[in-house]
Structure formats: C-alpha cells, structure tokens
Structure 1
Amino acid sequence: LVAIRLNHASGNIGENALGALLVLEASASCSERFLRVVAEPVHSALSRIADSQPSRIEFAIRALSKFARGRSRALLLLGLMLACMVLMLPMRYRVSAPLELQPQTRRFIAVPFDGPLQSVYVRPGDLVEVGGLLAKINPREIEFELAGSLAEWNRSEQERKTLMAKHDFAGSKLAELEAERLRLKTELLQHQRDHLEVCSPIAGMVVSGDLSQSEGRPMTRGETLFEIAPLGNLLVEIAIPELDIAEVRTGMTVNYFLHSFPSRKMQGEIQRIQPRAVLREQENVFMAEVALQDPDGLYRPGMQGRASIVGDRHTLAWNLFHHAYFSARQWIGW
C-alpha cells in the first residue's frame, strides 16, 4: 500500500490538503514516482472544484429558494383564493363629491325707481339688520320732475274751473280727468321722494353687490343692487357626478367637512336632488341639497369642502372596478 497526501505545490504539509492518493498491490518505487507526478495536477483540479462549491450561506439560500419554489404554486393559489374572498365582501359604496354652502333663502334688493345712485353704505360680507340702510338714491331728478308735475296739476285745475265758469261741461270733465291724472303722478313722485333710502327687509349678510365704486351712476328701476342671505340656515350643495347619480337618492347619509374647518366632521341627510344636470368644471353633475343649521354664525355662503355619500352595499370588487368595467364596455361598443 503506497499513499501520498495531496498538498499544495509549496510542499507545506497540511496546507490546502484535500485528501490522499492510494495505490494497492504495486511496486513501492514505481508507485511513489507515479504518485509524485500526478499529485500536483490532481490537487489543482480538486482545488478548483472545491472553490466552485457554494458557501454555507449560499447553500442555505439555495435550499430556501428550492423550498419556496416547491410551495410557490400552493401559496399563489392560496393568495388568489383569499383575494377573491376579500373582493366578494359586501361593503358600503361611497360617492365622493365637492360641495359648496349656499343660503336657504335669498332676497334680491332692486332699485325702486329710476335715478342716480347717491351713496352706498354696505359691501359684500357686511352684516345687516332689518331696516338697515343699504343705499340712497339722489333726489335731484325726482324733485325736478315733482316740481313740473305740481305746476301742470295747478294749471289743469285752473283750466277746469275756467271751463266750468263757461258752462263747458264736456271740456271741464276732460280737464278734471287730466287733473286727476296729474294728482296721482304728483303723489307717486312725492312717495318716491320720501323713500329715497334703500333698506334691508331682512337680517343677514350681503353676499353680492359691490357698488362702492358706482356712486353717481344712473340706475334703472328693477336693477339688482344687493343680494342678502339670512344667516343660521344654510344649504350644502353637493355636486354628484353623472356616473354616480344612479347610486344616490334622497334620505342617504352624508359625511362632509369644509376646507375652512377641516377638523370638524359633520353629518347630514340628502333632502332633495335637483332633477336637471348642470355643467360644473366641464362635467355634468346633479346638485343634492343637505340642510345645515348654523346657530353660531360660523359658516358663510360660498365655503367649499368635500362630501362622502354613504350608498348601498355592493361587493368590494364592484365598488373598486365598476367604473372601469363600464368604461371598457363603452370603449369597445358593447
């Protein structure tokens, strides 16, 4: 039996030893020479093989990967089943939409008669009381017209008396009718002169009508001066997208907040849905109304926010994908 250790070429015993070569039933001298010749190439080959082997960490990672590949299909199937179960759960469908506060009632204050605007005492945002002074009409034109009407009335009365003295009963009757017309015209002008001040019929806030730069401008009877909204009772107008109007009806609960008070969550109930769509920001929407009580006067018309309408129960899959489904059907023309 002849054996030789497979050492590195340096000759150090034990350094990088990978094993030993054994020869049985051979001449000792020949076998020893043979082993010394082949020892170095065999050692080099075995060293390369050993270097190519994975480390313990790599071996562990490969083992885990192999284990995971063996169970990946089962895990994938289990995940799909769980996802399907979750998507089939019944959930409330919620419609998210923008909102804006509007007054429940509005009073439009118009010009009572023709005349130039003399003074303006309020601007949008001002609070007014019942009978509060809003504006005043310049009396100059009315006074000129009133003076002319009085002169014509007096002349008509004198003409009637003259015709009566001449026993011209037909002419005196016509003069009497003309005098009556002028009397009524004079009384109307006197009434207008005594009511040059435009006052508020209700208590509230001026929401439109900035005429501070319009003093002296001629005004026409019926022209709107101001819009006044009473405070305390407001309407929450929710712009429901046309895609979701079929899922919304009166009586549904609405959770909403205002951008001015983001931490204050409020709740209401849809009282009315306008039957006709309106165009808002290039989109057809239906306006839903929710009453808002504001006893403290914190809110103002025109404030905006977001609303979430709590709808009926549908599967979670329907809630998430029904818009995409109907859009795809429309796109392919089905």
Structure 2
Amino acid sequence: MSGADKSAIDPMLHKALTLVTLHRQARHKDKAADLAFLMVNQTFNLVKYRQCFFFRWDGHSLEIDAASGAMHLDPNGPCALWMKSVLSRFLEDKKIQDALPADGKKGGESFARVFPISPTDCAEAERSHWNDWASQRAIVLAMAGQDKKIRYGLWLDREEPFQDTDIALLDDIADAYAYALQKFDVASGGSSTIARLFSPGKRRMSALFICAVLGMFLPVRMSVTAPAEVVARSPLVVSVPFDGILESVVVKPNQVVKKGDLLATMDGTALRNRSEMVGQELLTAEAALAKTEREAFKEPNKLSELNVLKAQMKAKQADKQYADELLSKINIVAGMDGVVMFPDANALRGKPVQAGEQIMLMSDPADSELLIRIPVDGMIVLDQSAPVDYFLNITPLGSQTAQIESVSYQATPDHDGLLTYKARARFQQGEQHPRLGSTGSAKAYGEQSVLFFNIFRRPIVTIRRKLGI
C-alpha cells in the first residue's frame, strides 16, 4: 500500500477509534455533570470546533450547564444569555420539535438529530451579535429525553464548514450521548429529573421557599408541653398527734384502706412512763390531801393547806388525763376510705417527728386531677376550660383528654428548684382516672396564632432577654 493510501486511511481509522472510545466513556459515566464535561470537551477529538455548549430544554425554558474549556459557567453572562435566546427561538420551531421520532430509537431511527443553524434563524437583535459570540458555521445536536422529546443538546461552532463525514460522526455520537443521558432520567425517576441533575434547582427551591413562607402564616393554636402528674384533688393529711418517734408503718404506698384501719404507730414508751409517773404523783397528792383533811379537824390552821393540796391534785389529774389521752393516740388510723400516698415505709420507720407533721396523704382514687408544671419560659395564655392532651409514661402511645380548671397566679419553685406555674386540669367525665402518682407529659392548648409565632416564640423571648429589649 502506498504512502498516499496510508495518509487517507489513518485519519478515518483514528476517528473510528475515537468514536468507539467516546461511546464507551459516555456509557461508563455515573454522574450527569461528568457526562456533560465529557460532551463539551472530548467531542473535540472526534470533530474539531471552536466552542461547544451543553444545554437543557424543558419545552419552555432553556438552561446552559457546561461550556468547553470552562470549569464554571456564569448563567447570567452575556454569552450565555445570547446563546439561551438563540437556542430557545430555534427549538420552539415545531419542525425542529417534530424531527425526533415519537417512539425513540425504532426501526433504525436515532435518539438525536443534527441541525445546522445560521444567523438567518435568529431575530434581528440576536443576528447583530452573532459574530461577537459565535463562529460563522454552527450546528445543534438535539437529543431526546425519556419522554421522546427534545430535552437537551449540544451547540458546536467553527469557522470552517462541517463536512458530511463530520455530520455523520456527530449524529452517531449524539445518539450515544442521548442514550447515556436517558440513563440518568431512569435513575432519577422521570424525564424531567435530568433538569434536577444539572440545574441548581432554583425554581424548585423558590417554590419550596414560597410554600414555607406561606405556611408560616397558617393559623394554629398555641400549645405548651410540660411535665404532668396525677394528684389528689382534695387529699386528707395524715399527721402525727404529738412529738415523738414513728415506731412502725403498717400500710404500703397506694394501699387501699377503710376508715378506722391502722396506718402507723408512735413509740409509746415515754408516754407510758410519763403516765405511770403522773399516776404515782396523783396518788401521792390524794394521800396528802386526805391526811391534811383529817388533821384539819384537830388543827384549824391546816385548813389553809387544803386549798393548795386540792389545786395540786387537780393539776396532777389534768396531767394524768393528758398523758392517757396522748397514749390513746399512739395508733394512727385512717380517717376515710381511700388510698394512702407516701414515698416509702422504711423511710418513715424510726423517724423523729413533731406534732402535726405530715407523714402521708389519703384520697379517694376517683377524686383526682392533673397537675401540670409549666416552666416560666414556656408559659402561654391558658383560659379556663382550655383543652389538654396528656400522655402517661406507663402508656406513651395513648393519650387522654382533660380540661384546664385553674392556673397559679405566680410561679413557685418545685422540689428541684425550677420555677413553674402550676396548672390543674380535671379529667373528662366518664373516663377512667389514672392511678394517683402517675407521671407523664401534658400538652395544653392556648389562643389561636400563626405557625411562625408558635415555632419562634421561645427563640424570640430568649433573644429579647439577651439583648435587653
């Protein structure tokens, strides 16, 4: 084979190998952005051009996502704006839209078409700037999306005319590019999703932002969630009758008792000793009084002592009566039918107590209410009869309803030192009352407001406190 034949075959073989390479590279790209970079830059190895742009078209608007020789493209630059205007007008032509087959690649038809474009296809304003942003010769590789309509394409331009061989090669590689782009359509769930892969999603983000802003003005009812506990509405206080030591507790926490049942006993050792001692003193006083009365018959001057001895005997009698009365109270009994409420029996046994000190409470299980401890920062306006949903820790998946009955005038410290407002809610009639002492959380509902204020109310309060405004 002569040297002239080699020079004629080698370029064609090189282009064929380049075409095969681009086919393989396009199929292996797993990111849409990488495929776009390949199309605008590596296609130059197949057909020479001065510049190349990759664009997306949704039937109404056009976006340019990549340009040859540029890592980042300014979508609002003068070149990009001119290109978008020219291509949009060109693609709106119904002849161009109908050029691709409705059923995609079928019967030898392609997913892509090569269209020449010239200044005559532009409006007067665009035509006057053609030489500023494009070369004399230009073509558009229109490619079909998953919906079989033009969804993306390539713009190529150069000074020399495109030969038939160039057109054939570009038509073939454009079909491969279109097929590779449709792969991203399928992976993303539809033909319109290719736009989401390439674009920053400005329209979608704007729509979401507008929906979020409008949603902030939705009317909602303000609410506050706080710890809650089931407590007795009108408990009976069980207290010790006198100073002493609590000897024993014979009931258990939450035990049901009847009126008169023994609850606890006081240590009566000191009282018994006191009663016996006062009894002996009383006997001594009675004997002294009797002796003085006998002597008074013989000695009239003894009559003055009688009044003193009688007063002493009455005092001893009162002491004896008081000691016996206290001794009779060493057994502490239930004053009503109900349940006894106290933390732990072992903590009470042997404890020194003072008269009147509370050791436990009693209540009717059906006479209970919900005590809600609302922190100062979370307090909202709660009217009487405001609804409450409460969730007990023992049944976290179920809720019950109650109704606000009263709210404390000012915040008071809890046992842990936290300042809270005390809201009391009554249970709905007909509902089974939870066990006394049950804890959980309650959500109380206040006045109507907008969603924005309901979400940002506490941050606003915190900011105002920090800034002092």
Name the CA shift for 1:162/1:185 in 2 (closer, same or farther; >3 Å): farther
Give 1:270 shift.
Answer: 1.2
Match of 2:280 in 1: 148
Matched residue SS, 2:210: helix
The letter of the residue matching 2:314 is E
The letter of the residue matching 1:44 is H
Matched, 1:235 2:369: yes
Matched, 1:172 2:301: no
Match of 1:284 in 2: 419
The letter of the residue matching 1:319 is N
Report sequence identity in percent: 18
Matched, 1:307 2:442: yes
Match of 2:293 in 1: 161
Match of 1:48 in 2: 18
After TM superposition, the structure 1 = structure 2 runs for residues 89-238 of structure 1, keeping only pairs within 5 Å, are 89-113=218-242, 120-137=249-266, 138=268, 140-158=272-290, 161-162=293-294, 164-165=296-297, 166-168=299-301, 169-208=303-342, 210=344, 221-238=355-372
Give 1:240 shift.
Answer: 1.0
How far apart, CA to CA, are the structure 2 residues paired with 1:67 and 1:190?
Answer: 97
Match of 2:9 in 1: 39
Asked whether the equivalents of residues 156 and 179 of structure 1 are also in contact (C-alpha less than 8 Å), the reply is no
Name the CA shift for 1:227/1:57 in 2 (closer, same or farther; >3 Å): same
Asked whether the equivalents of residues 128 and 205 of structure 1 are also in contact (C-alpha less than 8 Å), the reply is yes
Instruction: Give per-residue Cα distances to partners, 1:49-94, cap 9 Å, x unaligned.
Output: 5643453322445996775568944433333222222221111122
How far apart, CA to CA, are the structure 2 residues paired with 1:212 and 1:231?
Answer: 24
Give 1:284 shift.
Answer: 2.8
How far apart, CA to CA, are the structure 2 residues paired with 1:188 and 1:286?
Answer: 45
RMSD (Å), alpha carbons: 3.7
Give 1:214 shift.
Answer: 7.1
After TM superposition, the structure 1 = structure 2 runs for residues 314-325 of structure 1, keeping only pairs within 5 Å, are 314-325=449-460
How far apart, CA to CA, are the structure 2 residues paired with 1:71 and 1:216?
Answer: 75
Alignment size in residue pairs: 304
Asked whether the equivalents of residues 142 and 193 of structure 1 are also in contact (C-alpha less than 8 Å), the reply is no
Instruction: Give per-residue Cα distances to partners, 1:93-132, cap 9 Å, x unaligned.
Output: 2211111112123333333345665654223232221111
Higher relative contact order (CA 8 A, sep 6+): 1
User: Which deviates more, 129-138 or 277-286?
Assistant: 277-286
Matched, 1:58 2:180: yes
Give 1:178 shift.
Answer: 2.0
Give 1:258 shift.
Answer: 1.6
The letter of the residue matching 1:311 is G
Matched residue SS, 1:247: coil
Larger strand proportion, structure 1 or 2? 1
Asked whether the equivalents of residues 224 and 379 of structure 2 are also in contact (C-alpha less than 8 Å), the reply is no
Name the CA shift for 1:124/1:78 in 2 (closer, same or farther; >3 Å): closer
How far apart, CA to CA, are the structure 2 residues paired with 1:189 and 1:130?
Answer: 25
The letter of the residue matching 1:93 is M
Asked whether the equivalents of residues 289 and 306 of structure 2 are also in contact (C-alpha less than 8 Å), the reply is no
Unaligned ranges ≥5, structure 2: 23-172, 186-190
Instruction: Give per-residue Cα distances to partners, 1:211-268, cap 9 Å, x unaligned.
Output: 5687777765444444333322112111112122133343311111222234543211
The letter of the residue matching 2:422 is M
How far apart, CA to CA, are the structure 1 residues paired with 2:242 and 2:206?
Answer: 82
Matched residue SS, 2:390: strand
How far apart, CA to CA, are the structure 1 residues paired with 2:411 and 2:10?
Answer: 93
Q: Select which of 362, 376, 379 maps to 1:245.
A: 379
How far apart, CA to CA, are the structure 1 residues paired with 2:443 and 2:203?
Answer: 40
Name the CA shift for 1:75/1:189 in 2 (closer, same or farther; >3 Å): closer
Give 1:173 shift.
Answer: 2.3
Match of 1:6 in 2: none
TM-score (ref. length: structure 2): 0.55
Name the CA shift for 1:156/1:185 in 2 (closer, same or farther; >3 Å): farther
Matched residue SS, 2:449: strand
The letter of the residue matching 1:284 is L
Matched residue SS, 1:55: helix
How far apart, CA to CA, are the structure 1 residues paired with 2:396 and 2:344?
Answer: 30
Unaligned ranges ≥5, structure 1: 1-10, 12-31
How far apart, CA to CA, are the structure 2 residues paired with 1:200 and 1:65?
Answer: 76
How far apart, CA to CA, are the structure 1 residues paired with 2:360 and 2:328?
Answer: 21
The letter of the residue matching 2:282 is L
Asked whether the equivalents of residues 95 and 308 of structure 1 are also in contact (C-alpha less than 8 Å), the reply is yes
Asked whether the equivalents of residues 223 and 380 of structure 2 are also in contact (C-alpha less than 8 Å), the reply is no
Match of 1:82 in 2: 211
How far apart, CA to CA, are the structure 1 residues paired with 2:347 and 2:424?
Answer: 35
How far apart, CA to CA, are the structure 1 residues paired with 2:280 and 2:429?
Answer: 53
Name the CA shift for 1:120/1:142 in 2 (closer, same or farther; >3 Å): farther
TM-score (ref. length: structure 1): 0.74
The letter of the residue matching 1:83 is A
